Every structure is written in C-alpha cells, then in structure tokens.
Structure 1
C-alpha cells in the first residue's frame, strides 16, 4: 500500500492556456495526424521548469500515445520511461495517476493485458486522492475498457460509472464528447450483459449527445449498435428502422462495411418475424455488396440467410444446397463459436424440410462443437485467472519489497549520522535477524495460503461452475480409478453399473425465446432434480451445454428402467419457474449397462459403452424426443457383430442384433 507520507496531496494547479492547446491538438489528431504532430512539437517546446507538473505530464503523455497510435512503439516506450521518471520526482497523486494511466494505455494498445493488470494495482492508491476529474475520467474509462476486453463485466461497470461521475463534474468543450463516448461504451457493456432496456436507453442518449455535437463520424456506429440492441431484445420493426438510419449515415460518410452489416441485420429481423418476402430484398443487396467488397465471410452469412428463406418457403432442395455451401465455408474459414451457432439454424431448416436423419447428424456435430468450445473456454479462463493472480501477487510483492528497502535505507542513514559503529553493526545484525524471521513467517503464511488456493482450484476444477454438479474431468477420474480396481480384481465380476446420457429438448429455442438467464435457471433446477433422484453412491455430471450424464453404481436391469422412467417424469412433470415465466421442458436419454451384455470391458470399455448410449439418445431424438432408449443386451454373440457396430446402431437394430427398450416420457405441453 502507498503511505500517505510518501507524496503530497494533489492540487489542481494547471496552465489553462497550454491545457486548451492540448484539447485543440486532440481534435486535430482525429482529422490530420501529421498536422497534429506539428502542434504537439510546439506544445513540447513550451514546457519549462515553471510549467505546472500536471500540465507537463499531460503534454508528455500525449507524445507517448502519439507514438503508440502511429505504431512507433520503440519511441513510445522511451518517452514513457522518461515520463515515469518525471512523475516519480513530483510527489503528486494527480501526476502519478495520469502517468500510470498512460502506461496502461500503452500496454492495452499492444494487447499486453497481464502487464496492464499489474499497473492497475499500482494506480489504485493514487486514484483515491486524484483531484482533477479529467484524470479520473481517463483512468477509470481505460480500466473499464480493459475489464470489458476480459469479459469481467461487473468490474468494467464499476470503473465506467466512476468515469461517468468524473465527467459530470466538468463543464468544458470536451465534456459532451467524453460523455458521448462513455454512453456508447456503457451501452455496449449493458448489451454484453443482456440488459437490453438499459443498453437501449444509453445508446439513445449517446445518439442524442452525438447529434448535439454534430459528431457525424459517431453516427453510423451508434445507429448500428442501437439497431443491434433492438433486434436482440425482440423489437424487430424498430431495429429495421434504426438500421436504415445507420445505412443513410454510412452512405453519406462512405462506410460500405456498416451498410453491409445493417442490410444483413435488416434481413435477419424480417426472418425472425417470418416475413420472408420482405427479407429477400435487403439480403440480396447485402449479397451484391459483399461480393463487391470481397467480404467472403459476410457473403457466406448472407447466403445462409437466403438459403434459410428458400427452405421456409418450401424450396427445400435449393435452400438446403445454399445453406450447406455456406456451412462448409464456415467449417473451413469461420470461428468455431460462429459455426456452432449457424449449425443450429441449419438443423432447424432440415427439421422444417423433413430431413430428420441429416438433422440428427448436424445436431450431433453441433453438440460435439459445443462441448469442445465449452472445454476450450474453461481451460482458457482458468489459465488467465492463474496469470491474473500471479500478476497481482507479483505487483504486491514488489510494493512490499520497495517499502522494506526504503525502511532499511532510512535506518542505515540514521546510524551513519549517529556515527556509532558498534551500534550500527548491532542494528544491522538485529535487522537482518528480524527480516529473516519475518521472511520465514511470510513464507509459512504464503505456503498456507497457496495450499488453500490449491484446494479451491482442485474443487472448482472438478465442478461445473453454474450447476455445482461434477464435470467431465471428475467423471473421467472416477472411471480411471474404476478401471484400476478392475485390473487389480477389487471390483466383483457380478457388479453391474450403468450410464444414462440425458439431453434437454429444444434448449436452444428456450435460450432464443426466453433469454440465457432463464436457460441458466433451468439448467440449475435440472441439476437439483437429477441429484434428488439419485441414490447416495450414484453420480450426476454436467457433460456439456444442456447434456447431463448419470453414473449408477451397482444396479440391476429392472431398477435401471424404473430409475430412468422416474427421472424422465421428475424432469418434465413440473414446470420450471424463472421470474414471471413458467415453462415445461422435456428430455431425451440413452442408457446402457456397464459392463455391456456381460462382455469383458477390455473389449467394450466405458467409453465405447457411452458411445452406444449416445447413439441410443440420438435414436430417441429422431423418434420424437421426450423418451429414453436403452440398450439392454445382444441377441447374437459379440464375436458375430460386424466391426464398428457401435457407430451404426440403426443397422444393428434392423438386423436384430441389439435388444432395445424404449421408455416414453409423460404427456406434457412443451416448447417445440
């Protein structure tokens, strides 16, 4: 922590004339960087020893950022070093806060987020004592954007609103400009949080402010943001009107990329309103513009929408061919997160066209991709959290070492003034012993905290953060122990286990229609109902997305069928409540015993058995959902089964090789 004795309180001492010249330079910078550099050189020439430190810091910082934004990073880093040395000599909170904010801005621009977070730790004590609203606005706005980039929305909101409070303390030529920028940032933040009414209100405020300032350059992006918010919140007609305003401004300012995005969004809104004829014209315009701009990605997206319209208008073959071509492009060139979303729309088109086998294949691809993204995102998040923890811990340790060093230097200086050599040696020995003892205590304390942190990390690494159920990793660990016991004969040969794979029906439509908040509430309630239905030695696992896995230990075939049927009823008989919404949700399941049909698990291990259960689940999906399909045994010896039968369950059933049982769920009103 920064002691209050180390630096003087900040005073708002500035040079108004130079400050006004900096504001002018910033306006010129947006229009003509070369002319702006000439203005900046003139400003630097006016700085002298009597220039207020706060104004000098702002001018020096402008030079650093000018080099950053023009890509001259080496010059920027050299000027930044000079700036920080200058700020350290001033003993002033305002000066230190602005200098450190310049450092965060430089690191943020280079995408060095971990290093930027270290500087956030350093700047926080100074911000508490910063007097000038301009500096508090700049620093909090910058830190808020940093947290937004990292999807830490709660922290981002805290800092952006502190920046907003700082702006409201000012009344000058740049007040409205800064307020407009913050309103657009806050609107985007609220959109990321799915707070659509607040996001829309902020977007409208930003548009009004931009209109007052005649900031034409802001208008296309602000209308595009407003139209996106209206569309996501279900206000499709308003969204269409707003996007046409975005197009009007974008054409005036020669921004064809914004025109392209708005045309596609207009078509998407018409599709969501099932007004397919009205959707065609803007999408065809978007299609031509994407080709003209050589924008392959958006062209494929527009083609996907046009193909979907063909399918909905019963031109099945033509539409599905167009959609398949677009999907193939996204498989080869798109982001996996986008492909996963587009596969869902493709599956809906296949369902409408009656191609249920192909629909099942696409749903399986989408589910596998969803699981991959879920695991990748989780691993990335854990790695980044660990890096953030190490960065903040390192920064705190550096601060403590600097404080210890300063204390030691003061003690040594005091002893030299007293000129008592014997006492000096005794103090040094005592100080060294004390520091060693303190270091020993700190190491012990740090080790205890590290052990506690490791326990917490281990717990969270085995649990799903939303539902609290065990996750895929914990189940794999359990099965690894089970395999070890099998090999060591600690499992009895007559012990039968079972696997039940469960997938919620039409869950993507629930998220689309009612929002992800309700979807999360349903997942939490499903986890609780599954836990309540199990015995003490069973285990419920969130397998990924809307899919769950039950591991049933020591269960006979009759009890297995009863438990699966009871689970289907427990999941579907009572509606799920979220806020004012009430919804009945059904599920489809596939189950199998382990070992399967008495076959040695070295031939059909739990992973192959789970693959069979997965095939049984998709068989239930293809036959109407809200049911469970179980593979109870073989009608022929295992050695007579064709190789790879677990990949083609339908053929095995058709050839009467498999004993299959179907359990139908309760008759309920459900989403479809």
Structure 2
C-alpha cells in the first residue's frame, strides 16, 4: 500500500545513537569485528526507543555493512527489515534513506531495472526530506547513477542538490562529502567537455583531499592530469602526473603509477619531445610486465614504436606497431583499436607507406562505422529500457493508489449500505473517479505516443549535428526503390558524394574534442545550406558525411563537387577561440552508374565504389575528389568481385579528378 507523505511528518532522532553512528563511520574499512561491535552498541541504545529516524539510519548501516563484506545471507534480510520499518514510519527522511539504501544494494547486484523503478519512488519522497545528511546521501547516489548513464542534466541537478545539503552541515564528514562531490562534479564537467570548470573543481577536490581524504590524492591527480591533457596543457599535465605517481607510491597504488607513466610519455609525444618520452614509457613497460597487464604493455609498445618511426628507425618501429595492432585486433576493445589505427596511419604517412596507410585508414573507417552504429543502437535501447522501467514504476504507483481508493470505497459502502441516498452519492462519486481515471489513462497514452514519436525522430537524426543519420538514408533509398524513382531516364541522374574531413584526429589532438565537435557542427551547416530541398545531407559516421543529390545533370556534378570542396576549405573554421583551416577528401558516383541499371549495380555497391575513390584521394594527398565515371572491365567481372567479396581496384574503373583549393595547412597536418 502506498502511504502519503503527510503521515509521520516529524522524524525523531536519538542524539546518543546518532553520535555512535558517526563514530561507526570512522571505523569503516579498518576492522570488521570493531565495526560490528559498534553497530551492536547502537542497537542496544535504540531498544524500545521512539526515535525511528535513528532506527532507520542504524538499519541502513546494517545493510551497507553486510554488503561491504559480501554477506549475501545477511544483507537481504536486513534490507527487508529496513523497508518494513520505513513503510511503518513513512516520513520524507525515513523513506528517502531506506529507498536510497535499496537502490545502492540493487546496483551492487547489477539489477538495473529494479534500481530504476526504485529511483521513481525515491524521487517522490526526496523533496520532503529535511535532514541534510539524508539529502546528501540520496542526491549523491542519484547524481552518480545519472552521471554513469550520461544523463548530464539530471546528474548536475542531483550533485548540486547534494552540495547544497553539505553546505548545511559541519564537521569532518562535511569536508569529506564536499571533497567527494567536487571530484564527481569535475568528472561531470569533463564528460560534458566543460574542461575549464572541471579543472577548477578537481583542483578544489585536491585541496580538500590533502586534509580529509589523502588516500584519494593519487586518483584526483590522475583526473587532473587527464583534464589538462584534454585542454592541450601537456606540460602541466606531465607535472601533475608526476604528482600522481609520488602519492600513488605512498599508498601502494601501482595501477595509477602505470597509467600516469604512460600518460607522461603520451604527453611528450604530443609535444614532439620524442626523446623525453622514452624513459617514462620504459618505466611503464617494466611495471606493466611486473603487473602482468598485457593490454597496457601493448599500448606502451605502440607508443615506443611510434617514437622509433619519428626518430628514423622506420622498419623497426612499424614492425613493433604492427605487432601491437594485431594484439588489439585479437584481444583489445574495438573502440581502442579504432583509435590506435589512427596513430598507426600517422606513422605510415610519416614513413611514406601510402598504400598501407590507405588500407589502415579503410579499416579504421569501417570500424568507426560499426562502432557508431552499435553505440547509436545501444543508446536507443537503453533509453527505451529506462523509459519502460520508469513508466512501469509509475503505473504500479497509480494502481496502488487506485487499489487504496477502491478499498476505502468498499469500506464506506459496508458502513453506509442502509442509507440509499448516501449509496447513490457514493456511486456517483465512483463514476466521477472512474471518469477521471479514464482521462488520466488517455493522457498517459498520449504522452507515451509523444515519447515514441520523439524516440523515432531521434533515431533518424545525428544527435551532434542534427543531420540525418545512416538509418534515415537507408529508409530514403528503400522508398526510392519502392516508388521506382531509380528508373528515371534522361540526362539527369541521382548522385552520391562521400566526404571525409582531412586530418581530423590531429585537430582533436591539438585543439581538443570540443573544438572537433564544433567543426563537425559547422561542416554540417555549410553542407546543409549548400543543398537543394530535394537533396539530403547525412552524417555517415565519425568525421564522414554523405550527400545524396536527387536528379542532377552529370555535366554539372563535377562543378558541384568542386564548389563543395571550396565551401569547406576557403573560409577557416572558428573553434575554441582559434581559426582552423579544414579540408576534405571526397569520392562520388552517379546513380544509375555508367548506364548500368540499378537492378545490376545498386546504390550500396555504388557507394562502395565511391568509398574506393575517396581512399584513392586520401592516398594522393587529400583535399581533392575522385569520381567514378565508367568501367575498364566487363560488368560481370566487377559484379563477381562484389559477390565473392574480392578486392576491387581503382585500375578497373574510369575516374575523373577534382582538385580542391590551395590552402595554408596547419603545421601538424602537413
């Protein structure tokens, strides 16, 4: 049964028990036996006590104590007892503390759906919580969950509410909580690419940790070094990572030492200080070997191989990088492999291995597309799952309220069944309530339909640029086929232009990911504004864009491609307060292609040919376009290559080249 928040509005506490529980907090992590003895003292103090607020805190501490020592057979009964106690005394503070404890326990068991449902109920009671300690506990927990879930607005609201609660408290615990929240908020702002504010907060957290949480200093220094690196403050980042190493040695955190040594080497590489990078990387190599951390060991080998290439030992360095790349193909995360392929391509470009560079860039592009699609599908699935979980929780609450209402109606009828007039009135009231319930259901259904429409819209748009995404384009081409638009004749044809921003990884490395995102948004705007209403601009994945042109004369296509290259390169982009010259490389093709019907060579195969042309442009120096205009081999040979998944070479195709404008490229991109 769902209780209203007006019941038991007060929340009596026992001062001695509260002091004893504060003392218990200081024992956590030191000695399990002493912790249990202190909790037993609190239990004795609260025997027959009316202070159910303190009783709630004690029962919650029991659950957390058993969870911390993985005592499965004791924490579950303790949680049941806590929730029974809270339901009997449902004030805002009691229910908020009990429900927050339950959420924490569910998260420890990886029961995310149950945790999301419980969050709905917690958010109902939390506005009525009065104790700062309870508000801190609940809001900090909610903020941490939303931060992990990349729901930045909700994370910010809850973490700042937790900070407001801390401001109302005093003593050592307030300092500990404030320091922890500063580190959480620093992570939030770093994830949101608000790096300057993230740096300011992590510096505040470090100052607090020196007083209250010295054993957290290595972790905080590591976070600060990462944020400084993202800001391009590589020299400052190096010094901060050395501080992380010094404090990590003090507390025996070898993992942080390893990460910081590798980050120091990477920072020196970004500063082109290759000789200075070698010594910390060698130290990291020895430590990774000692810790049997094969993944980090291969990453370090990758960095050392890159340095060898830059210092002239080309064959040795490339061989070392090839071995690490092969390891990541077999054992690493695909997201890491995609990033490392970019570094490998840079080394190949420096060495002049253009053919292998083109192959590596192609592999990176395909992997980027797969990751982009998988991440989009995962995000949509999680959004739908969370929506369903929260909607189900709301539905359960409404049913509980309706059941409670029906029970009270039945009781009233039993007491007043001899009075016909009152019975009639009760029936009328019931009809009104049913009508209101019907209206509520209709309102909820409308909201659900609106939410589904919003999800459908989001599934067809790229969240960063607002352009159509791959799925939207595939739907467009399916309708085009269904309506037989692919069969139009005459001089006009449809066309596909596949563009890739040149040296985009180097833009991210030098100017930061926020600047890279700004450039992607501005590229999208320029492309969108250059198209006709019947055309379509698509973010195909990463830094790659696709233009679909509906009915254009073949003789006008080259001029349009050239105009697009100039549109991007002639006017520098403004990002992060800096002026950045951006060029692109493109591959293009008409549909149908070379008077070959699309029943024989459809748009997917045409796009593969445009992609091949794009990579030819990359290998020839970028800032240009290559168009596929015809075949040098019989059509059957080309189709056989597609069907048997054989490599198709540019020598089999007739092509035309379109040059981009002369530009003064950034030094790192030359």
Do structure 1's residue 313 and structure 2's residue 311 form an aligned pair?
A: yes
Question: Secondary structure at 1:601's aligned position in 2?
Answer: coil
Preserved contact between residue 630 and residue 662 of structure 1 (Cα < 8 Å): yes
Preserved contact between residue 63 and residue 79 of structure 1 (Cα < 8 Å): yes
Do structure 1's residue 249 and structure 2's residue 247 form an aligned pair?
A: yes
Which of 492, 498, 508 does residue 495 from structure 2 map onto? 498
Q: 1:640–1:464: structure 2 CA closer, same or farther, 3 Å change rule?
A: closer
The offset of 1:196, in angstroms, is: 2.5
Question: Secondary structure at 1:590's aligned position in 2?
Answer: strand
Q: Deviations over 1:211-266 (max 9, x none)?
A: 223x4422222222222222222222222222222222222222222221121112
1:144 match: 143
Structure 1: gaps of 5 or more residues: none
Q: Deviations over 1:397-453 (max 9, x none)?
A: 222222222333333333434452645764665455445434443343333333333
Q: 1:551–1:419: structure 2 CA closer, same or farther, 3 Å change rule?
A: closer
Preserved contact between residue 358 and residue 618 of structure 2 (Cα < 8 Å): yes
1:441 match: 439
The offset of 1:459, in angstroms, is: 2.3
Preserved contact between residue 98 and residue 139 of structure 1 (Cα < 8 Å): yes
Q: 1:228–1:452: structure 2 CA closer, same or farther, 3 Å change rule?
A: closer
2:380 match: 382
The offset of 1:197, in angstroms, is: 2.5
When normalised by structure 1's length, the TM-score is 0.93
2:663 match: 668
2:6 match: 6
Partners of 1:3 and 1:38 in 2: CA distance: 35
Q: 1:407–1:439: structure 2 CA closer, same or farther, 3 Å change rule?
A: closer
Partners of 1:541 and 1:41 in 2: CA distance: 64
Partners of 2:199 and 2:502 in 1: CA distance: 32
Do structure 1's residue 467 and structure 2's residue 462 form an aligned pair?
A: no
Structure 2: gaps of 5 or more residues: none
Q: Deviations over 1:574-597 (max 9, x none)?
A: 222235222221111111111221
Partners of 2:639 and 2:457 in 1: CA distance: 43
Partners of 2:82 and 2:19 in 1: CA distance: 21
Alignment of 1:106-505 (within 5 A): 106-213=105-212, 215-418=213-416, 420=418, 422=420, 426=424, 429-430=427-428, 433-486=431-484, 491-494=487-490, 496-505=493-502
Q: 1:154–1:506: structure 2 CA closer, same or farther, 3 Å change rule?
A: same
2:539 match: 542
The offset of 1:610, in angstroms, is: 0.7
Preserved contact between residue 413 and residue 426 of structure 2 (Cα < 8 Å): no
Partners of 2:236 and 2:156 in 1: CA distance: 27
Instruction: State how many pairs are aligned.
Output: 664
Partners of 1:355 and 1:266 in 2: CA distance: 29
Preserved contact between residue 318 and residue 347 of structure 2 (Cα < 8 Å): yes
When normalised by structure 2's length, the TM-score is 0.93
The offset of 1:316, in angstroms, is: 0.7
2:570 match: 573
The offset of 1:509, in angstroms, is: 1.6
The offset of 1:119, in angstroms, is: 2.0
The offset of 1:124, in angstroms, is: 2.2
Question: Secondary structure at 2:547's aligned position in 1?
Answer: strand
Partners of 1:500 and 1:236 in 2: CA distance: 38
Partners of 1:5 and 1:375 in 2: CA distance: 45
Question: Secondary structure at 2:411's aligned position in 1?
Answer: helix
Which of 583, 586, 591 does residue 583 from structure 2 map onto? 586
1:520 match: 517
Do structure 1's residue 508 and structure 2's residue 505 form an aligned pair?
A: yes
1:601 match: 598
The offset of 1:561, in angstroms, is: 1.3
Question: Secondary structure at 1:596's aligned position in 2?
Answer: coil
My pick for the range that moved more, 398-407 or 467-476, is 398-407
Partners of 1:161 and 1:142 in 2: CA distance: 12
Preserved contact between residue 98 and residue 135 of structure 1 (Cα < 8 Å): yes
